[in-house]
């Protein structure tokens, strides 16, 4: 359903795939500056060690994959999640990242997760 939603919105699907945390622990893995967890079901789980010191925040959303029912009902749940994530990313991108200190940025990112 995720691929369907993204395709409808004309995102390039290319090599998109789910990835294991293990891929990001490799020496040649790209360095991450920010990590956002999004699944409410996993909010209390311990996350693996992250290389570097990325700023982290939990932006909880209801899991659209948990929705049962018709294709239309599932589609609506995935579309809602996609729109909510896109809105938070837009807010994140509007922050003056280069002008605020790390602690303030961390606080603002966590506050976005509560919206």
Task: Determine, yes or no, domain membership for 6.
Answer: no
Tell me the Cα Rg of the chain.
Answer: 16
pLDDT digits (tens, 9 = 90+) for 26-84: 888 888 888 888 876 655 666 666 767 888 888 888 899 999 999 999 999 999 999 99
Task: Determine, yes or no, domain membership for 97.
Answer: yes
Rounded Cα gap, residues 113 and 92, in angstroms = 10
* Residue of 115, 70, 94, 24 lying closest to 105 (CA atoms): 94
Range of the domain at 54: 30-43+50-62+69-115
What pLDDT sits at residue 105? Answer: 83
Rounded Cα gap, residues 49 and 52, in angstroms = 9
Task: Determine, yes or no, domain membership for 38.
Answer: yes
Task: Determine, yes or no, domain membership for 111.
Answer: yes
- For the chain, the domain total comes to 1
Task: Determine, yes or no, domain membership for 54.
Answer: yes
């Amino acid at each position: 359903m995720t691929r369907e939603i993204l395709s409808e919105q004309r995102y390039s699907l290319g090599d998109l795939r789910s990835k294991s945390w293990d891929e990001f622990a490799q020496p040649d893995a790209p360095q991450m500056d920010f990590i956002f967890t999004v699944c409410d079901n996993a909010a209390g789980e311990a996350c693996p060690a992250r290389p570097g010191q990325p700023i982290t925040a939990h932006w909880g959303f209801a899991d659209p994959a948990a929705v049962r029912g018709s294709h239309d009902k599932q589609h609506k749940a995935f579309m809602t999640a996609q729109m909510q994530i896109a809105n938070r990313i837009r807010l994140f991108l509007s922050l003056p990242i280069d002008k605020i200190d790390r602690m303030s940025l961390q606080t603002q990112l966590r506050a976005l997760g509560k919206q």
